[in-house]
Structure 1
Amino acid sequence: MKEGNDRMRPLMVSEVNGYIKKLFAGDILLTYLQIEGEISNFTHHYSGHMYFSLKDDKSRIKCVMFKNDNEAIDFKPKDGMRVVISGQVSVYEKDGSYQVYARKMGKQGLGDLYRAFEELKKKLAEEGLFDQERKVPLPRIPKKIGVVTSSTGAAIRDITSILKRRYPAVNMLLYPALVQGDGAPKDIIKALKYLDAREDIDVIIVGRGGGSFEELGAFNDEALARCIVDLDTPVISAVGHETDFTIADFVADVRAATPSAAAELSVPDRKTLLDEVSSIGSSVLGEMGRKISREDDKLDGLMKRLSYSSPYRSLSDKQMELDGIFRQLEHSMFRSFSGYRERLAGYDARLKLSDPGLPLEKGYGIVTDPDGRIIRSIEGIRPKDVISVRLKDGSLKARVEEVFEEAKDEN
């Protein structure tokens, strides 16, 4: 940079990117070209635009195909598909990156990696390794979870965060492993076998964050797939994003769309558990109350039956019956005594009437001969006979001077 009037000012970043874009636009080869390659890291955005990369065995280039252009495609692009695109190369000024702006796309066939993926998928499916019947259900409340992934990736951070939030009581054991590259499948297999051999691991999460189809290639390894099938501990596969599928996903006991989703599937939500416990407690208390009420009703019935058949009740009934008999006997005796009293009173009256002393009280006397026999008639009485006369306060002796026979009334 020269001093003085001819000194040049620094360029702005946007000016540099704009200049490069003009250079690309001025190149006849880059304004319209055809490129053949294998689709990788394909995303069909909700806006309708398609974002992907084209790659060969040595390099790759980023591509975008806007909605108005991709609506004319008569097939569904996907990772591993070999295509030929037509378009131009330009610079995206905002971040200074260059990419192909595709206008047309034609299908050329499957790429080598994707073809191998499909062949292995078909082979293992025919062997029954994907069958749901052979898969092990996850424990509802695990005590310890084993995790096989990179120790520095976003996957382990997401898993750890969600486990702490959903169910803090669970323990987690991380076995760091390579998740990309030639040595990754063997490293992952070693980690899985170690965790499966431990008796304290209830479930294993294996996976990684998102990436291109070839970056996820470690999880399309046949040896890894057969290892997962042979494990006794249930396995959750959590590889890439929701739209990514690997062989590990198909053979695992459970496939999670992302590592975060795997963490959510592996443990229950603490709040949900507390609500369930509260609900169960209420149900138990309610059932206990109903059972106690039923047993009370049964007890009342038994008490009534016992009361009806109780010897005390029988004795009480007999006592009441005996009291009735005593009352009847007393009544009968009273009536008998009353009759006897009446009869006795009659006898007494008659006896009093027969009492020889009663006439004496009225001024009469009882006349007896010397032998003490009562003289009832003048018959046999002669003058000068000696007689005795008993009065109420004594007796006297008398001599008969004269006997008079009572004159009879002829009328």
Structure 2
Amino acid sequence: MDGNNYLSVNSLTKYIRRKFDADPYLRNVFVKGELSNVKIHPSGHIYFTLKDDKSRIQSAMFRTAAKDLKFKPEEGMNVLITGDVNVYEASGQYQLYVQSMQPDGVGALYLAYEQLKNELAKEGLFDARWKQSLPVLPRTIGVITAQSGAALRDICSTIQRRYPLASIVLFPAIVQGPQAAPSIVRSIEQASSYGSLDVLIIGRGGGSIEDLWAFNEETVARAIFSCKIPIISAVGHETDTTIADFVSDRRAPTPTAAAELAVPSREELFERILDRKRSIYKSFSNQIKHERKRLQHFQQSYPLQFPERLYRPFTERLSGLSDRLVRNKSELTVNRKAEHERLQRMLLFYSPEQKIKDGTKNASLLTERLTRSILQELRTKKDRFETSIRMLKALNPLDIMDRGFSIVYKDGNVSNSIEDFITGEQIQVRVQDGVLDAEIKSIRTNVVVSKFL
């Protein structure tokens, strides 16, 4: 068969794809199954395998559809999917292109809520160690809520009734719908940069989970956690619980309760002041009574009834010390006078002229003694020097040569034994007036020479 009649792989794949496109039953199909091999691409696309106990199909959910998901697809999750079935030409495989996805058996929002709650709890955003304490007497209170909502009216009326000294600063925000989370985050940032807020209330009235969903967004939770101002969360009614409630420093079941947490009651403060006043008055009264009793006790004591007996010992001691002072003064005067007279006599006896004469005489004696000592030392040193010269001269080998002796050198070293030499060896002989180079002709032992020829 002619090769031109064969289809290419690409042509066959395109033909199959057209068949998928033409089949209306492969459009907007509803499929349920279990997620497997879930891969969330950084671009926002999600790729996974949808399977049951008998079959599986490759699936893809592109970013435009995935951005509307309220929860995070995870391995093993059972889901309900709506999408189209078509062929992926590059691999020739058919796959499911997902348009929407929701959990099977539980609401998507509830699942997203649980997922984010668990994730933030693992990070420690709910830990009590991060919770800030509320001020006892706040001056300025910030409120983040809808500008026209009932929550704002409840908060303002409660604060004015309980603690009118506090001022209220509103940071209006959208609290429902797609733009709610970014709006709440911006308001938290504005409140953080305001500079003089003591406490911040964030909340709104009740509603469905969809209505309250902005307070379950991760961006809002992290903005609350990062805020340095103590935050009271007041979202919905008492039965409503959001992620913002867990992250905030305190949770109030309603906006009115949040205002009650933020400020003290005026009546309670008055009562506390009165109690403190009564306590202080009672304390001072008791102290005055105690001091009055002490005073009475001291007034009735023996020393205060006879005060002269207190200072009598000191008067007697003062008198004794005065007498001693007079006696010591007289004795000191007599002693100083005698010492003065003695020094005058010494000055008359030892006149400057006499001191000069005595000093001159002592100097002459010392000079004479020094001269004798130097001469004696010189004689001693001279005798020792002459003795050393005689000894050195006696030991000088050159003087020995004057008497006819000589010194034999071999290789520059002095040799004094025939065992150091061999016949025919060159040697040097040092005599009194020079050095002789010689050669050994023969070696004889124990030879007595009486006369040199």
TM-score by length of 2: 0.45
Q: Which has the larger radius of gyration?
A: 1
- TM-score norm. by structure 1 comes to 0.49
State the structure with bigger RCO (CA 8 A, min sep 6), 1 or 2: 1
Name the one with the larger helix percent: 2
